[in-house]
Amino acid sequence: MTTPSGGIPWRLLRGSASAVAGASWLAVLILVAAVLPVFVTEAANHQDLALRFEEPFGTGHGIAYVLGADSLGRPMLLQLIVGARTSLVVAGLTVAISALAGFAIGVLSGYAGGWLDTVLMRLADILHTVPSLLLALAVLYVLEPSITNLVLVLAITRMPVYLRTARAQTLELRERVFVESSRSLGATNARIMTRDIAPLVAPTIRTLAMLEVANVILAAASLSFLGIGLQRPDVDWGMMVADGRSYLASAWWVTVLPGLAVLATALSASILSNWLRAVEDPTQRGAFLSRSRRPAGAKA
């Protein structure tokens, strides 16, 4: 059986170089994003037009400008640090909210069945079909663009994935013998859901969530590209990539560096989740995918 609490077997990490690299990148990033922005935000947002497109790896202007400056002469390094916080907060919160909500609703839906299940699943279908762009425009228009609202929009659009996955697994688990025995021992439905089923669904959701980190960072970047993301002076990596795109030919670092940051982070999250899946019980591997979208009532 898989480690029921979803605990990560750190000892095994040493076996995989790419997993170590991914984990270290994420760890350093989280640390940097948690600690540094408080000290550097002001300097990061300070424009100095005299330093517009200062080339990277120069030495004349101090460590802040080691990665060059952007189109308004802001230090790229500091912008990346502040952007890291926003990107991680947006990605982290979005994934956490959508995963937890999707997880809870999915387990409830799958366990309860009946009309509740039908209603919740139709809602998920509907959310899945409304283009996220329209939702983004409407929400950001009515509620003003802010990190909170961006998270809200992204969380709503990403939730159905978790909901379906959790539900499909619950559908199967609730027929298992140990659930029956819990029930015959007099356990309440709430107890069965939280104690018996949820712990078995959790690892699947966790794997999925780590894969989604990349998706969310990219989705936020696409919104910035279309002009409906955050507003300056808030900055995230996606916005930096989008803003710098017109200088691709003349000042590559303005868009390539944040692009690489997105890439490295998304890659690290994917590698880690891959690795986690690999070290876990082989029978769990890939199972979530095969069950996530089976039609209701089409169980074997």
Partner 1 sequence: MTTRTSRRIAAFAAVPLVFLAACSGQGPGTAAGTDLTIALAVEPVSLDPCDTQDATNAVVLRTNVTESLTRIDPETGEVVPFLAESWEQVDPSTWRFTLRQGVRFHDGTPFDAAAAAASINRVLDPELNCQNLDQFPYPLTATALDAATLQVVSESPDSILPLRISYADIGAPATPAGEKTSSPVGTGPYRFAERVQGQSVTLTRNDDYWGQAGQATSVRYVYREEPSVRAGMARTGEASIAVPVSVQDATDDDRTREYQDNRVFFLRTSTEKAPFTDPRVRRAAQQAIDKQTIVGSLMERTGTPFDQIVASTVNGHIDGFTGPAFDPAAAEQLLRAAEADGVDVRAPIDLVTRPDLFPGSDEVIQAIHQNLQSVGFTVNILSLDTDAWLQLLRSPFPPDQKATIIAISHDNISGDASFSFPKYMAGDGSNSTIRNPEIDALLAEAEQAGGAERAALYQRAAEIEYRDVNAFLPIALQSKLLMLGPGIEYQPNSLTGVELSVADIAITTG
Partner 2 sequence: MLTFLLRRLVTSVVTVVGVVVIVFFLARLTGSPANLYLPEGASPERYEQFNREHGFDLPLWEQFVRFLGGVLRLDFGDSIWQQRPALEAAAEAMPPTLLLALIAMTGSLAVAVPLGAAAARRRFRLADRVITLSSLTTASIPDFWFALVGVLFLSIQLGLLPTSGDATVASWVLPVATLMLAPVGVLTQVTRGAMIDALGSGYVQNARARGLSPSRLVYRHALRNAALPLLTVAGDRAAGMVNGAIIVGTVFAFPGIGTLIVGAVLNRDFALIQASIFIVGVAVVLLNILVDLTYALADPRVRIS
Binding site for partner 1 (CB under 8 A): 45-47, 49, 52, 55, 71-72, 137, 141, 144, 227-228, 231-233, 243, 245-252, 256
Tell which one of 40, 155, 161, 198 touches partner 2 (CB under 8 A).
Answer: 161
123 makes contact with partner 2 (CB under 8 A) = yes
Instruction: Yes or no: say if 25 and 84 are a contact pair by the CB < 8 Å rule.
Output: no
Taking CA atoms, 6 is separated from 115, 119, 209, 277, 281, in Å, by 31, 30, 13, 11, 11
| Residue 177 contacts which entry, partner 2, partner 1, none (Cβ below 5-8 A, type-dependent) | none
Taking CA atoms, 184 is separated from 177, 197, 261, in Å, by 10, 16, 53
One-letter amino acid at 87 equals S
Taking CA atoms, 156 is separated from 68, 86, 121, 147, 237, in Å, by 37, 19, 14, 14, 21
Tell which one of 12, 28, 63, 248 touches partner 2 (CB under 8 A).
Answer: 248
Cβ closest to partner 1, residue 47 vs residue 284: 47
| Closest residue by Cα to residue 26 from 213, 300, 286 | 213
267 makes contact with partner 2 (CB under 8 A) = yes
Instruction: Kindly state the tokens that stand for 257.
Output: 């560096």
20 makes contact with partner 2 (CB under 8 A) = no
Instruction: Kindly state the tokens that stand for 96.
Output: 């956490």
Residue 178 Cα to chain centre, angstroms: 33
Question: Minimum distance from CB of 38 to partner 1 (Å)?
Answer: 19
| Closest residue by Cα to residue 19 from 282, 274, 280 | 274
12 makes contact with partner 2 (CB under 8 A) = no
Question: Minimum distance from CB of 133 to partner 1 (Å)?
Answer: 12
Phi-psi group of 113: left, alpha or beta (phi > 0 → left; psi -120 to 50 → alpha; rest → beta): left
Question: Minimum distance from CB of 140 to partner 1 (Å)?
Answer: 10
Cβ closest to partner 1, residue 123 vs residue 137: 137
Question: Minimum distance from CB of 255 to partner 1 (Å)?
Answer: 10
| Residue 52 contacts which entry, partner 1, partner 2, none (Cβ below 5-8 A, type-dependent) | partner 1
For 12, phi and psi rounded to 5 degrees? -75, -15
263 makes contact with partner 2 (CB under 8 A) = yes
Restricted to residues 67-96, the positions that interact with partner 2 (CB under 8 A) are none
Instruction: Yes or no: say if 204 and 2 are a contact pair by the CB < 8 Å rule.
Output: no
For 188, other C-beta atoms within 10 Å of its C-beta total: 11
13 makes contact with partner 2 (CB under 8 A) = no
Binding site for partner 2 (CB under 8 A): 18, 118, 122-123, 125-126, 128-135, 137-138, 141-142, 161, 214, 218, 221-222, 225-226, 238, 241-242, 245, 248-249, 255, 259, 262-263, 266-267, 270-271, 274, 277, 282, 285-287, 289-290, 292-295, 297-298, 300
